[in-house]
Structure 1
Amino acid sequence: MTPLTPKLRVQRIWSAGVDDKKAAVLRLGLGLSVADNRVYAAGHRGDLVAFDLASGRVLWRAHTRAPLAGGTAASAALVLVGSSDGQLFAFKAANGAMLWKVRLNGELLAPAAISERLIAVRTVDGKLHALSPADGHELWSQEQQVPRLSLRGTARPVIAGDLVLCGFDNGKVLAANMTDGSVQWEATITPPHGRTELERLADIDSAVGVSGQDVYAVGFQGRVAMLALDTGQIWWSHEASSYRGLTLGEDMLYVATADGEVIALKARTGAELWRQKALLHRGLSKLATMDDAVVVGDFQGYVHWLDKSSGALAARVSTGKTRISTAPVVAGNTVVVVNDRGQVSAFRVTPLARAPATDRRKVPATPAPTREESR
């Protein structure tokens, strides 16, 4: 990677750990969530920690004694986290008191979706479960066939109006009625193709994006597409391969591809605006957006900011040498990331024009990844 001239000032404001050395071996990142100025982070050893967004102070810590795997989901009242042995835990956001736990027949590798009416969660056996927020009892479930070979991961459900949307390992997106779970529509984003099981991988392992009456989805070895929320009709598609997913920002759509390109598309038409190749083979996380920038982590622990309008690299900081697998979380001008060892870092981001002149310095190039490292 070549040096860059920063256009943003990035200042680390705090860092804290969830004491999670096991995760770096497994390469399974546990995503953060932010709600009501609190950051919620989980560790594979079973801890769930609430941090103050501004200071990083630990507000409470809960112990599940379970191998956590799905990352956190949070609302103003509720915090959820799932485990690799099929348990879903619900905690009170105010103080970390456990409200309930349920056991589902399948690993939970993605965060749940929360609304006042239900909680939606995917399991690796191809099932979409809807649960009661009050006590976790099952309201309904839907199931899709799981291919014999699939990527390690599942898509996070998304609740949009009266629908629950979710992608599956067979390359399909399903929309279920929130009330009874009846299928409103399903659409194939990535039709499996090829002779071998490896060639036919078509997983949708990331949450769909929803903007108004439009749904956006991307699959592995396939395409990114826009669908109608009410019918599932595909309006446009653009060739792309991603297992990290897509991010919406105003009238744009941003995708981190499987090989490390970052692509910006017009949301309404799918027309490509720019393509940044400076981060090829860096094992990118899912993207996040803030103000005029796109934010992404990589396998060497760097966080990169790209200019929204051009894709040019705008800033870069290191959080250490451990992979960042999950998406950065943006809260105002604060960006919070967690690496695969459970180290949480929060950064304040401001335009460089507002920063002291002494901060306007070139950022040295990051080491080029070896073929072995980027795997």
Structure 2
Amino acid sequence: MRIRPRAWLWPLACSLFLVGCGMFGSEDEPIEPPAELTEFDASLAVREAWDVRVGSGAEELNLALRPAVEGGRVYAVGRDGVLHALDLETGDVTWKVDTELRVSAGPAVGHGLAVLGTTSGILAAFDLADGAELWRTDLSGEILAAPDIAPTAVVVRTVDGKLRALSADTGAELWMVEHRPPRLSLRGTAGPVIVGEIVVAGFDNGRIGAYGLRDGEPLWENTLSFGRGRTEIERLADVDATPQVVGQDVYIVSYRGRLVNVTAASGQLLWANEISSYSGLDVDWTTVFVTNDESVVLALNRSSGAELWSQDALRMRALTAPGAIGNSVVVGDFEGWLHWLDAVTGALQARHRPGKAAFVTRPVASGGVLVVQDEADRVYALRAEPRG
């Protein structure tokens, strides 16, 4: 099958930033347009298994609304706060509940909970079994990244630079640490991750830190990105991509900084690669996949950080973080296209456009099913198979 090109439309990439389009260039520095999609021989056939509308849409808000899969169910929520539990295979609605929240992040799922965050700073937890609300807590700080969940605690970042742990049972605050954010930063935050009894989080000042899950005791801190330049824009150094974990290894990337591999227990730097990203990354057992700030997709050796391949055919298309699935890695773009790349070579394998709304969050893989949510709050389940 030949995949035909499509004329590009200018992406609303400015919505990613507080400072607007001026960040990307000046009168003396023209802005690079997004790459046009060109024909190629597709090696995979993509099939839509089902799709479900879970909300009224959140176009151009760049919200961290990303489905989560657990126990054969897909949990998804739209901007207007209707939380859905869907059957992974059929898309049938198991239950749904109107939370009456303006949701900006989540759901995070685990240990019997589905947890949502809002722009007004509300963090709320619901029972995975039936959607019953268990608790809600006002944190008084916008939540733009999904929390992480342990049996005893839920940890969450807010845009005011605070990292909090709340009781998983009651929502009561257990501890809080703070990194004062710079005056100017990208719109977005990196979600924290829990590694055993350790919480690892990135901050808008370019630093990453680890804290004890029980009491928030600081364990170590490293700098990912140093703000350099004469202006505040030139000194932007945010860590806005949620870390990825394999065993005790943590992989994290910053804007205008580095992608690093550190140990969760000590923060020991195992390797670093000079890569700038706000979209994020994914990791499998052998490879780290990352979308850089120019929408070039790269693959790195997980053990050494050495570059294995890069794919620049989708430059400046406001790509999501990559999602690894089987022998492929998938990214979404600003026009609503999903692109399958060969995980070993980076070659384009397939392209599919289920709708017209942009994708802004990383695709989710469960078995052979890819689950994605676009900015129109439509959730899709897709399968890709070799062409015969």
TM-score (normalizing by structure 1): 0.91
Question: Superposed, which structure 2 residues align to 1:310-325 within 5 Å?
Answer: 310-325=345-360
Q: In 2, are the aligned partners of 1:187 and 1:233 still within 8 Å (CA)?
A: no
Counterpart of 2:312, as a letter, is: K
Which position in structure 1 is the counterpart of 2:193? 158
1:236 corresponds to: 271
Alignment of 1:183-332 (within 5 A): 183-332=218-367
CA contact (8 A) 1:29 1:324 kept: no
2:155 is aligned with 1:120: yes
How far the C-alpha of 1:3 sits from its partner, in A, is: 1.5
Q: Is the 8 A contact 1:122 1:156 kept in 2?
A: yes
**Which SS does the other structure have where 1:222 is aligned?**
coil
1-structure distance, mates of 2:62, 2:189? 15
Q: Does residue 4 of structure 1 match 2:40?
A: yes
* Stretches of structure 1 lacking an aligned partner (at least 5 in a row): 358-375
Aligned-pair CA distance for 1:76: 5.2
Provide the C-alpha distance between the structure 2 equivalents of 1:30 and 1:229, rounded to a whole number of angstroms.
Answer: 27
- Are the counterparts in 2 of residues 92 and 99 from structure 1 also a CA contact under 8 Å? yes
Given that 2:106 and 2:146 are in contact with CA atoms closer than 8 Å, whether structure 1 keeps it comes out as yes
Contact 1:49 1:62 in 2 (8 A): yes
Matched-pair contact (CA < 8 Å) for 2:64–2:146: no
Provide Cα deviations, 1:165-203, integer angstroms capped at 9, x if missing partner. 111101111100111110000110111111111011111
Would you say the 8 A contact 1:29–1:340 is kept in 2?
no
Report deviation, 1:228: 2.5
| The one of 163, 169, 192 aligned to 2:204 | 169
> Which stretches of structure 1, 4 residues or more, deviate above 4 A after TM superposition?
none
Which residue matches 2:83?
A: 48
Alignment correspondent of 1:93: 128
Q: Quick check: 26-35 or 336-345, which moved more?
A: 26-35
Gaps of 5+ in 2: 1-36
Q: Give the secondary structure class of the aligned counterpart of 1:2.
A: coil
AA aligned to 1:154 is T
Q: Is the 8 A contact 1:252 1:266 kept in 2?
A: yes
CA distance in 1, matches of 2:245, 2:111: 21
Cα deviation, 1:237-288, whole Å, max 9, x if unaligned, reads 2111110111111121111011110011111211111010011011111111
User: How has the CA–CA distance of structure 1 residues 90 and 213 changed in structure 2, closer, same or farther, with 3 Å as cutoff?
Assistant: closer
Distance in 2, Cα, partners of 1:54 & 1:226:
35
Q: Any idea what SS the aligned residue of 2:362 has? A: coil
Percent of aligned pairs with the same residue? 44
The structure whose RCO (Cα within 8 Å, separation 6+) is larger is 1
TM-score, length of structure 2 as denominator length: 0.88
C-alpha displacement of 1:230: 2.2
Aligned equivalents of 2:378, 2:40: Cα separation in 1: 26
Aligned to 1:71: 106
